[in-house]
Amino acid sequence: MRKFFSDIKKDRITLGVFGLSFLILVLTIIFILLNLKNIPPYIPIFNQLPWGNERLTQGYGIFIPVALYIFIFVFNLGFSSVLYQKNNPLLARIVGSVNLLISVMIFVFILKTLLLIL
């Protein structure tokens, strides 16, 4: 397993991008946990659905985007490692940058949702 991620550790750009993504993930989880006691029983998470009860989920549904992002983070980290093993560091850096963009978007979504309902 160490060999699998050793190439990513050598590249400072990719390591920094994934490290920053992980830091934003941790900050998002901390922000949710700090406001968890103030979250109402139902919150609007599914904003693409029609107006009404379909948009709402229970209070712990705020962790749905975070759980999806954790899956995306692990997948992108593994995919970047595979790209490095195939001697394609540019694509690995692009995957890391997209991962950083997704983490920022998830953080902004959680921040806006919690500030809306609190």
Is residue 52 one of the residues assigned to a domain?
yes
Is residue 2 one of the residues assigned to a domain?
no
The pLDDT of residue 100 is: 96
Q: How many CA atoms lie within 13 A of 58 on its CB side?
A: 1
Is residue 37 one of the residues assigned to a domain?
yes
DSSP 16-59: HHHHHHHHHHHHHHHHHHHTGGG--SEEE--TTSPSSGGGEEEG
Is residue 40 one of the residues assigned to a domain?
yes
Is residue 1 one of the residues assigned to a domain?
no
Is residue 14 one of the residues assigned to a domain?
yes
Of all helices (H) and strands (E), which one includes residue 87? none
Q: What are phi and psi of 51, to 5 degrees?
A: -65, 135
For residue 15, give Cα distances in angstroms to 8, 20, 28, 61, 63. 6, 8, 20, 31, 26
The pLDDT of residue 31 is: 95
Is residue 16 one of the residues assigned to a domain?
yes
Question: What is the model's pTM?
Answer: 0.87
Q: Domain range for residue 14? A: 7-117
Q: How confident is the model at residue 45 (pLDDT cuts 50, 70, 90)?
A: confident
Mind listing the pLDDT tens digit for each residue in 15-42? Answer: 899 999 999 999 999 999 999 899 999 8
In three state form, how does the secondary structure of 56-86 look? EEEHHHHHHHHHHHHHHHHHHHHHHHHHHHC
Mind listing the pLDDT tens digit for each residue in 103-112? Answer: 999 999 999 9
The pLDDT of residue 4 is: 62
Distance in angstroms (rounded) separating the CA atoms of residues 103 and 98: 9
Q: Is 51's pLDDT higher than 70?
A: yes
Is residue 110 one of the residues assigned to a domain?
yes
Q: Is 88's pLDDT higher than 90?
A: no
The pLDDT of residue 1 is: 60
Q: Is 59's pLDDT higher than 90?
A: no
Q: How many domains does the chain have?
A: 1
